[in-house]
Amino acid sequence: MATQERPLRADAERSVRTILEAAERVLAANPAASLEQIAEAAGVARTTIHRRFANRQALVDAMVRNVLDQLDVVIESAHPDTAPPLVALHQITAEVLRVKLGWPFAMTESFAPGSKWAQGQQQLVTRCVALLARAQAAGLVAADADLPWTCQVYYALIGEAAHNTTGTDPHELATKVIDTLLHGAGPRP
Amino acid sequence: MATQERPLRADAERSVRTILEAAERVLAANPAASLEQIAEAAGVARTTIHRRFANRQALVDAMVRNVLDQLDVVIESAHPDTAPPLVALHQITAEVLRVKLGWPFAMTESFAPGSKWAQGQQQLVTRCVALLARAQAAGLVAADADLPWTCQVYYALIGEAAHNTTGTDPHELATKVIDTLLHGAGPRP
DNA sequence: GTTAACTGCGACAGAGCTGGTGCAGTTAGC
DNA sequence: GCTAACTGCACCAGCTCTGTCGCAGTTAAC
């Protein structure tokens, strides 16, 4: 079966990575795809997936945990509590976009409402709101802004930007996202 | 065995409605739900669903067609080509929100990328861009704004607003959406 | 070099979903 | 009131997916 604690051998570790990446590709295209299809995309026998992951849910969970860990690192390394708000915001946006472009399925899965990841996600929202509050204190955000709503909009903008296959440079996209978030589409004074 | 052209009897018509509404409720909660669950929610035998809809896809198609028709009516009645842009925008936003709150599954389904509804959706985008262009001419939107991107943001904002169960009044939500779309979260001059 | 871990393959059982049929009872429409 | 349409029910056939097993061959780790 799977999901044991014993350290994996190097080749097993490798096939786990391969499976996770293939699952991302396949499930992004079709969330209802079978394990058979995932195995084929990974160049692996279906039984191997079952050996490494107890069931489909365990596989998805591993994918989600993977991106959540990445997001944690990304946010931490942007120093959202000490760096200038706009700098941190830009840095985080670009990096989150990079993660989202690579792991779209796992990303949407982790953000699915009412999932087991709700608490982990709530933690992200809290940090996001905290950063926005710093931006507010710095005058970047209106004093009377609805921060949870702004945070929601921020996530949505990142999601939309990730759909834009044209501008694939994360930093360029990040600039657009933050510009839209702060100023909208209206005329500038 | 279904989707015939012969006019349905009144009771059959009624059960079709019941099934569509139940399907919306069930599939919104779980897109992978079985027809059995939908039938149960509709207070109907599963075979009845099969009698009215050739297969699962036909059922979903009917749901999507239903909302697309609603959206068409909604947009048309707001006179997007003649009414003042801001008025039309607000009117459309509020009504679309009303539709989305009632048919979240069908709505996201119809907007799924690469679906058979892509062309119908493209038509909506075109009309949306046209309306935004009028708003641009009226000075509501920056002259150098990226209209397709703005339209994308507009859709995303509507989607997010629909997740807000707190402010359930469509007009209130519409105000928030348009305000965010045009001005973002930054401080007002 | 030995051993334990890993993999592919073939096969299997079980479960769930789909789509269909026939029949008896009810109901809308004329 | 008559007829055709509609529905629920029981039942069935077929399919796909999941999860498991054993075995033979390969490979990493000591």
The distance (Å) linking the CA of A42 with the C1' of D17 is 18
Contact flag B181-A184 (C-beta cutoff 8 Å): yes
Q: Which two tokens stand for residue B155?
A: 């859709």
Higher pLDDT, B1 or B47: B47
Q: CB of B18 under 7 A from strand D?
A: no
User: How many angstroms separate the CA of residue A7 from the nearest CA in chain B?
Assistant: 35
Smallest Cβ–Cβ distance between B157 and the set A132, A145, A153 belongs to A153
Q: Which residue is nearest to nucleotide D7 (CA to C1')?
A: B48
Asked whether A25 and A17 are in contact (CB, 8 A), the reply is no
Asked whether B45 and B39 are in contact (CB, 8 A), the reply is yes
Asked whether A123 and A80 are in contact (CB, 8 A), the reply is no
Give the closest residue to A170 by CA, choosing from A94, A108, A102: A94
For chain A, give the mean pLDDT: 93
Please write the tens of the pLDDT for every residue from A35-67.
999 999 999 999 999 999 999 999 999 999 999
In this structure, the number of other CB atoms found within 10 A of the CB of residue B179 comes to 14
Contact flag A157-B153 (C-beta cutoff 8 Å): yes
Cα separation values, B65 from B68, B111, B121, B146, Å: 5, 12, 11, 30
| SS3 state of residue A117 | coil
Asked whether B130 and B55 are in contact (CB, 8 A), the reply is no
Higher pLDDT, A113 or B16: B16
Residues from chain A contacting residue B182 (CB–CB below 8 Å): 184-186
Give the closest residue to A134 by CA, choosing from A69, A64, A85: A85
Cα separation values, A85 from A93, A140, B185, B186, Å: 12, 9, 14, 13
Residues from chain B contacting residue A145 (CB–CB below 8 Å): 185
Per-residue buried b or exposed e for B44-56, using 16+ beta carbons within 10 Å of the residue's own CB: beeebbbebbeee
Q: Which residue is nearest to nucleotide C8 (CA to C1')?
A: A45
Give the closest residue to B131 by CA, choosing from B96, B163, B104: B96
Contact flag B176-A149 (C-beta cutoff 8 Å): yes
| SS3 state of residue B13 | helix
| Domains observed in chain B | 1-54 (1.10.10), 64-183 (1.10.357.10)
Residues from chain B contacting residue A159 (CB–CB below 8 Å): 156
Average the pLDDT over B86-98 and give the result: 96
Interface test with A, best of B157, B165, B166 (most A CBs within 10 A): B157
Higher pLDDT, B111 or B145: B145
Q: Up-side HSE of residue A102: CA atoms within 13 Å toward CB?
A: 15
> Where does the pLDDT of residue A3 fall: very low under 50, low under 70, confident under 90, or very high at 90 and above?
low
Average the pLDDT over B144-152 and give the result: 95
- CA A134 – CA A86 distance, rounded (Å): 9
Asked whether B60 and B24 are in contact (CB, 8 A), the reply is no
Please write the tens of the pLDDT for every residue from B21-62.
999 999 999 999 999 999 999 999 999 999 999 999 999 999
The distance (Å) linking the CA of A180 with the C1' of C22 is 63
- CA B77 – CA B55 distance, rounded (Å): 34
Residues from chain A contacting residue B180 (CB–CB below 8 Å): 149, 153, 184
Q: Is the pLDDT at A32 greater than 90, yes or no?
A: yes
- CA A159 – CA A155 distance, rounded (Å): 6
> Looking at residue B2, what is its pLDDT?
55
Q: Is the pLDDT at A1 greater than 60, yes or no?
A: no
Q: Of the given ranges (A172-181, B5-14, B93-102), which has the lowest mean pLDDT?
A: B5-14
The distance (Å) linking the CA of B62 with the C1' of D18 is 31
The distance (Å) linking the CA of A164 with the C1' of C16 is 38
